[in-house]
Amino acid sequence: MSTALVLLIVGLTLFAAGSWVALNIRGAAASLERRAAANAELAMHARGDLGPPRRVASAGSYRLVGTLIALCGIVFTLGGLLESL
């Protein structure tokens, strides 16, 4: 498998996944926030702490990370296109 094909596949996958979260399609960022809160609550209960869970990350921070991942996907895709020339 050539390097250009690998870069194109990885780049397009990163772009699709990152833009899905960055644009909050079907509530992706909000569900990631709820999942992080549930995991934090389960970890606290496993330790015996029954207080309210601490907020790990907000939906806005997940959208920011999604934007960065989508931009990296564009870079990989452009690298794959340039490699194929």
Query: How high is the pLDDT of residue 53?
Result: 78
Look-up of token digits 């309210």: 52
Query: How high is the pLDDT of residue 10?
Result: 96
Query: How high is the pLDDT of residue 67?
Result: 97
Query: How high is the pLDDT of residue 54?
Result: 81
User: What pTM, to 2 d.p., does this model score?
Assistant: 0.83
| Segments of the chain scoring below 70 in pLDDT | none
